[in-house]
Structure 1
Amino acid sequence: MNPEKLAHENHKLEKRLCREVGRAIVDFNMIEAGDRVMVCVSGGKDSYGLLDILMKLQARAPIDFEIIAVNLDQKQPGFPDHILPEYLGRLGVKHHIETQDTYSIVKKVIPEGKTMCSLCSRLRRGILYRVAKELGATKIALGHHRDDMLQTLFLNMFFGGKLKGMPAKLVSDNGEFMVIRPLAYVPEKDLIRWAEVRQFPIIPCTLCGSQENLQRKQVGNLLRDWDKKFPGRLENMLTALQNVVPSHLMDRKLFPFESIEVTGEADEDGDKAFDEEPLPEPVPPTTDDETGNEVPARAVIPIAAH
C-alpha cells in the first residue's frame, strides 16, 4: 500500500474509533462536565487505545473533563517499569504509577497451572479503587472492548450458568465509583490495527497473558472464527445485549411467570413459540464509507446513532 493510501486508511480508522467511543459515551452517559476520569493503563493495546482516543475526544468535546492515567505496577519479574512513565510523560497527560507486589501474592496462593485471573483481578480492583479515591476520580475507565463483552457473555453461559455479560457502565462493588467502558462498541481488530498505527510500547503480561489454555482465550478464538465466516454476526450479538425480552427467557425474578393469566385478548408480545422467528433478509454487502471494505449492510444491525 502506498504511503498516501495508508495515511488515508489510518485517518478513516481514527475517525471510526472516535465515532464509536463517542457513541458509547453518549448512549450510556459515561462522562459528564467536571468529571475526573481515571483511565487504567496496563501497557496493553486496549488501554493504550482507550487513553489515546479519550484524549482526542477531550480536545474536541463540548464539555470540560479531566483525564488522569493510572498504572498498577504489580512487580512482575522483568516488568520494564520505565516504559509507561516515559510514554505518559511524553504525552503530557497527568499520570500516577502505583506499585504493589500482587504478583508474589498470586503466585503464592494459586497452584502452578491454575488460572490466576480471578485473584489477580480482585487484588487489582481493590488497589485501583483506593487509588481512585486518593486521586479524587469520579469515573474509572477500563479498556474492555466489544469482543471482551461478548466473550464474558459466553463464558457465563458455558461455564457459569448465567445469562450475564459485561456492562458498559456500572457502579463499583464498593458503591463508591462509576466504572465505564468507553470501548464497548469497538471491535478488537480495530484496536490491533490502531496499536500498530500509533506504535504503542506494548508491555506483555506474564500472568494471565502467559496462560494459553484459558477458557476466555478459547471463547475468543470461537468468536474470531465466527467473525471471519459470518461477517456481521458479532455486531448482531452486541445488539442482542441491548434488546432483552424477559418474558421470553426463564428467569422468574425478572418476569412473573407464576402469576400471569389468560386475558382473552390478543397480545403482540404473546406466545409465538410455534412460529418461525423472523430473521433479517440477507443483504448484499455494501461498501463501508469508513473502511472502504465490503461489509454487511448496517440496516440489519439497528444500533441508534447520535
Structure 2
Amino acid sequence: MQTLSKKDKTEFNKLQKRLRREVGKAIADYNMIEDGDKVMVCLSGGKDSYTMLDILLGLQKSAPVNFELVAVNLDQKQPGFPEHVLPEYLQSLNVPYHILERDTYSIVQDMVPEGKTTCGICSRLRRGTLYAFAEQIQANKVALGHHRDDIIETLFLNMFYGGKLKAMPPKLLADSGRNILIRPMAYCQEEDIARYAEIKEFPIIPCNLCGSQDNLQRQAIKQMLKGWEKQQPGRSEIIFRAIQNVAPSQLADTRLFDFNALSINGIASLSIDDDGPLSPMKQTQVESWEPGTMN
C-alpha cells in the first residue's frame, strides 16, 4: 500500500468506508450472501476483482452471517501472462484459492476473424469454465466484479445494439439454473474503485487479449456516459436509479403488462411512486451489513 500523508490517509479512510458501505448495502438489498454460503470470488487480476476480494474479506470479519470465500482465477494461457503474480498475492493474504489453466486464448484466436473483437466469445468461454468449477467445489454463490458503471454501460449497449431494455442485475440465476451470480459492487463507482486499487497497489495484470481493441462498442458507450456526467454531474446515479424503478405499464412489453385487458374498470397497474419505509426486517438487514463497527 502507498505511503500516504495525513490528509491523503483521511481521504483513503473515507473512500474505504464508502466502498464497504456500498457493498454492504448491495448485499443486504439483494440478499446476496446468507449464512453458510460458500462464495467463489472470480479474480481476473484487474482492479475491480482485486477490490471486490479486498472489500469482501473486510466485511467477512464483521458481517452478521458466516460465509466462506474462495478466490478463483482462470489462466487463459495468454502470451506473456505472469503466472506467478496471483498465487503470490493470494498466498500473502492466506486466502483459499484455485488457479484454473484452460487454453481459451487459442480457441478465441481460431474462432474470431482478424480485426473483430474477441470479448464476446472470450467472455462466454470464461463464464462456462468458472461456473462449472463453482459446482465442482460446491460454491453456491459466484461473485463477479462488475460495478455500477458496468451495469449502466450494459444497459445502453443492449438498447443501442441489441434492441433490449436490460442490464446486469446485482443477483442472477444463471441460465443453467445451477449457479447464483452476485455482483457485490453493483453500487460502487469505477472512479472510486480505480483510486482504491491505486492506493492499495494491487498487482494489476492487464488483459493483453483484448486490451488493444480501441473500437469496442463498450468504449463508445463509456465515452458517451463520461460526456453526459461532465455536462450534468450525478447523471449516472440517476440512470442507475431508473434501473431500480421500473414501471412496466409505462413501457410497451405485452409480456410484462396486460395492455389487452386494460380498461376503465379493468386491471390496475402497480404504482411504483410510493417510496414507503422499509419493513422492520428489511431495515435490520440493511443496517446489519453497515460497516460502522469495522476497524
Give the alignment's TM-score, normalised by structure 1.
0.85
Secondary structure (helix, strand or coil) at the match of 1:42 reads coil
Aligned 1:77-92 pairs, distance under 5 A: 77-92=79-94
Equivalent residue for 2:180?
178
- Give yes or no for the alignment of 1:95 onto 2:97: yes
> Structure 1: any 5+ residue segments left out of the alignment?
270-303
Counterparts of residues 203-242 of structure 1 (less than 5 Å): 203-242=205-244
CA distance in 2, matches of 1:225, 1:199: 29
Q: Out of 41, 48, 51, which is 1:49 matched to?
A: 51
The one-letter code sitting in structure 1 at the alignment partner of 2:226 is: R
Structure-1 residue corresponding to 2:278 = none
Could you tell me which of 117, 120, 127 is aligned with 2:119?
Answer: 117
- Unpaired segments of 5 or more residues in structure 2? 272-282, 288-295
Tell me by how many angstroms 1:267 deviates. Answer: 9.2
For 2:18, the equivalent position in structure 1 comes to 16
> CA–CA distance in 1 between the matches of 2:247 and 2:128?
34
139-148 vs 129-138, which moves further = 129-138
Q: Please give the residue correspondences for 1:150-165 in structure 2 after superposition, counting only pairs within 5 Å.
A: 150-165=152-167
Shift of 1:117: 1.2
The size of the alignment, in residue pairs, is: 271
The DSSP-based 3-state class of the residue aligned with 2:61 is helix
Q: Deviation at 1:208? A: 2.5
Could you tell me whether the CA contact under 8 Å between 2:15 and 2:196 is conserved in 1? yes
Residues 84-138 of structure 1 show CA distances to partners (whole Å, capped at 9, x for unaligned) of: 0000110111100000000000001101111111111111111101211111101
Instruction: Give CA-to-partner distance per residue, 1:198-257, whole Å, 9 cap, x none.
Output: 001100001222211000011011112222221111111111101100111011111111
Report the secondary structure of 1:166's partner residue: coil
Aligned residue for 1:297? none
CA RMSD of aligned residues (A): 1.8
Q: Distance in 1 between matches of 2:123 and 2:99?
A: 17
Cα distance in 2 between the residues matched to 1:197 and 1:267? 49
Which residue type is aligned with residue 229 of structure 1? Q
Q: Is the 8 A contact 2:249 2:269 kept in 1?
A: no
Percent identity reads 59
| Partner SS for 1:128 | helix
CA separation of 1:212/1:267 partners in 2, compared to 1, >3 Å: closer, same or farther? closer
What whole-Å deviation, never above 9, does each CA across 1:3-42 have from its counterpart, x for those lacking one? 1000000000000000000000000000001000000000
- How far apart are residue 268 of structure 1 and its match? 10
Cα distance in structure 2, aligned partners of 1:149 and 1:208? 20
Runs of 4+ in 1 over 3 A off after TM superposition: 266-269
Q: Distance in 1 between matches of 2:181 and 2:129?
A: 14
1:290 corresponds in structure 2 to none
| Larger relative contact order, structure 1 or 2 (CA cutoff 8 Å, min sep 6) | 2
How far did residue 62 of structure 1 move? 1.9
- TM score, norm. by length of structure 2: 0.88
* Other-structure match for 2:168: 166
